[in-house]
Amino acid sequence: MKPIIAIVGRPNVGKSTLFNRLVGRRKAMVDDMPGVTRDRNYAEVNRFDVPFILVDTGGFEPETNDRLLQQMREQSRFAMDEADVILFVMDARSGLTPADHDVVQMLRRIDKPVFYIINKVDGDSQEAATGDFYSLGVDHVYTISAEHNRGVGDLMDEVVQALPEDADRQDEEDITRIAVVGRPNVGKSTLVNRLLGYERVVANPTAGTTRDAVDTRFMCNKKPYLLIDTAGIRRKGKTVEKVEKYSVMDALRSIERADVVLIVLSAEDGVTEQDSKIAGYAYEAGRGCIFVVNKWDTLQKDNSSMGKFVEEIRRSFKYLPFAPILFVSALSGQRSGKIIQEVDLVMEQYSKRVSTSDLNKVFSNATEENHAPLDQGKRVKFYFATQVGTKPPSFVIFTNRPEGIHFSYERYIMNRFREAFGFTGTPMKLIFRGRD
């Protein structure tokens, strides 16, 4: 599991600026793919090959000033439970506030690395004015400017040092790991029971944090599968106090550990905002994805019902056009039998390797038939493509202008690879490397 770093702090201190700075999101992507990147508050980041998940806790709810303190407490509590490292951000321009003080007292008591950060220190004059913050009594405060990228590198060097060792995904090569994710009440728990073929595999799991995930192994047609966090899925169905907004985080954790993600939607409700957050993360995490439209039994159906739902899904999840869609009823078992079949198919594509010569045939046809747009007036040349990994299929493409390839062209290449090789249900990664 990749470690989680949470950014906590009052509204307007610059949490999302810092988040964007660290994620280094590409503008083209934000423009081209509404729904994936624009409003997400978590992202996978690699810093010098150290992967972690960054969470901007400010993104969890609308910011209302009257509930400020309570909201900060909630954010911080969440971060304390879920995160491995906490970045607590304060604002040099507004100085130290009582809310900052309060939260710091709370954070000081926990047994996790916390970095105390003063943002908006854009230059030496602000640097000089941060004396106030020393009254917090913490060992070290880091002064940065998220907007001007001042001090951020030094801070992150230390943050990365504080991360726990990445517990290796204990890889059992032949097992297929399945995550079942979706909003509360879409029928995840019912579906899990259906997949396992019997009720209450885990009787009354004791409440706890999501850390004590219980996975369940099962066999189907003599092949082994692992259902991730079955206890969590069941538990969530039952407790009201499990705050809905954080269930995205639970999904995120399961997705991280999965090969194939079943994104469960409810035929009764159609597609909602929270569905797209969860699906967006599955896409970005590069996992195999299958849409499972559950509660299909509840609809008054006519000839066009399925077509209409497919359209709604394709429209709402533009970045997942390759994900299969299944219509099931977990309650009655109708078509649920198809799910594992589809999981097998996606797993095969997710793990697929294509030969370098086949790949380059397709690649050179693609680049010849449709040239990449000029980059700052310069021609973009491609040399060679090679598959460097699976799960998901990942490719390195050598070019003279690795920074100058527009996202739409990247998508074009991916589509050509899909036409030629399939890759049904699996995202792909293209990495452009420079070579002169």
- The binding site for GTP comprises 9-16, 56-60, 119-122, 182-189, 229-233, 294-297
How far is residue 58's CA from residue 55's CA, in Å, rounded to a whole number? 9
Q: Which residue, 60 or 363, has its beta carbon nearer to ligand GDP?
A: 60
Of 2, 40, 120, 253, the one binding ligand GDP by CB under 6 A: 120
Q: Which residue, 143 or 367, has its beta carbon nearer to ligand GDP?
A: 143
Strands (E), 174-222: 176-181, 216-220
How far is residue 109's CA from residue 72's CA, in Å, rounded to a whole number? 16
Q: Which residue, 4 or 195, has its beta carbon nearer to ligand GDP?
A: 195
How far is residue 385's CA from residue 298's CA, in Å, rounded to a whole number? 48
Contact call for residue 422 and ligand GDP (CB under 6 A): no
Binding region for ligand GDP (CB under 6 A) out of 78-86, 251-259, 327-335, 375-383: 327-335
Q: Which residue, 87 or 380, has its beta carbon nearer to ligand GDP?
A: 87
Give the count of residues interacting with ligand GDP (CB under 6 A): 34
Cα–Cα distances in angstroms (integers) from residue 395 to residues 295, 358, 413, in the given order? 38, 13, 11
Q: Which of residues 264-323 bind ligand GDP (CB under 6 A)?
A: 294-295, 297-298
Of 81, 122, 127, 375, the one binding ligand GDP by CB under 6 A: 122
Question: Which residue, among 322, 277, 338, has the nearest Cα to 37 in the 3D structure?
Answer: 277
Q: Which residue, 15 or 277, has its beta carbon nearer to ligand GDP?
A: 15
Contact call for residue 15 and ligand GDP (CB under 6 A): yes
Angle ∠(277,282,286) on CA atoms, nearest 5? 140
Of 57, 75, 119, 276, the one binding ligand GDP by CB under 6 A: 119
Cβ density class 118-136: b for 16+ within 10 Å, e for less: bbbbbeeebbeebeebeeb
Of 143, 189, 216, 424, the one binding ligand GDP by CB under 6 A: 189
Contact call for residue 97 and ligand GDP (CB under 6 A): no
Contact call for residue 58 and ligand GDP (CB under 6 A): yes
Question: Which residue, among 339, 318, 353, has the nearest Cα to 428 in the 3D structure?
Answer: 353
Q: Which of residues 141-160 bind ligand GDP (CB under 6 A)?
A: 145-148
Distance in Å, CB of 81 to ligand GDP, minimum? 20
Distance in Å, CB of 4 to ligand GDP, minimum? 18
Within a 13 Å sphere around the CA of 322, how many CA atoms are in the beta-carbon half?
26
Q: Which residue, 30 or 420, has its beta carbon nearer to ligand GDP?
A: 30
Contact call for residue 53 and ligand GDP (CB under 6 A): no
Contact call for residue 329 and ligand GDP (CB under 6 A): yes
33: its two tokens: 């793919």
Contact call for residue 14 and ligand GDP (CB under 6 A): yes
Tokens 């517990």, residue located: 167
Binding region for ligand GDP (CB under 6 A) out of 69-77, 106-114, 116-124, 164-172: 116-124
**Cβ neighbours of residue 280 closer than 8 Å, sequence gap 6 or more:** 35, 36, 37, 40, 319
298: its two tokens: 């509840």
Q: Three-class SS of residue 52?
A: strand
Contact call for residue 233 and ligand GDP (CB under 6 A): yes
Of 4, 6, 13, 213, the one binding ligand GDP by CB under 6 A: 13
Q: Which residue, 193 or 424, has its beta carbon nearer to ligand GDP?
A: 193
User: For the CA atoms of the chain, what is the radius of gyration?
Assistant: 23
Q: Three-class SS of residue 286?
A: coil
Q: Is beta strand 394-399 parallel, antiparallel or unpaired with respect to 382-389?
A: antiparallel
Question: Which residue, among 435, 380, 384, has the nearest Cα to 409 in the 3D structure?
Answer: 380
Of 23, 331, 345, 354, the one binding ligand GDP by CB under 6 A: 331
Region for residue 3 given its phi and psi (left: phi exceeds 0; alpha: psi -120 to 50; beta: otherwise)? beta
Enumerate the β-bridge partners of residue 261: 179, 289
Contact call for residue 330 and ligand GDP (CB under 6 A): yes
Q: Which residue, 145 or 387, has its beta carbon nearer to ligand GDP?
A: 145
Helices then strands, counting H and E runs in the chain, come out as: 14, 15
Within a 13 Å sphere around the CA of 76, how many CA atoms are in the beta-carbon half?
25
45: its two tokens: 């980041």
Binding region for ligand GDP (CB under 6 A) out of 37-45, 100-108, 119-127, 305-313: 119-127
Binding region for ligand GDP (CB under 6 A) out of 109-117, 232-240, 365-373, 408-416: 232-240
Query: Contact at 8 Å (CB) between 104 and 116?
Result: yes
Residue ranges binding ligand GDP (CB under 6 A): 9, 11-17, 58, 119-120, 122, 145-148, 182, 184-190, 233, 236-237, 294-295, 297-298, 329-331
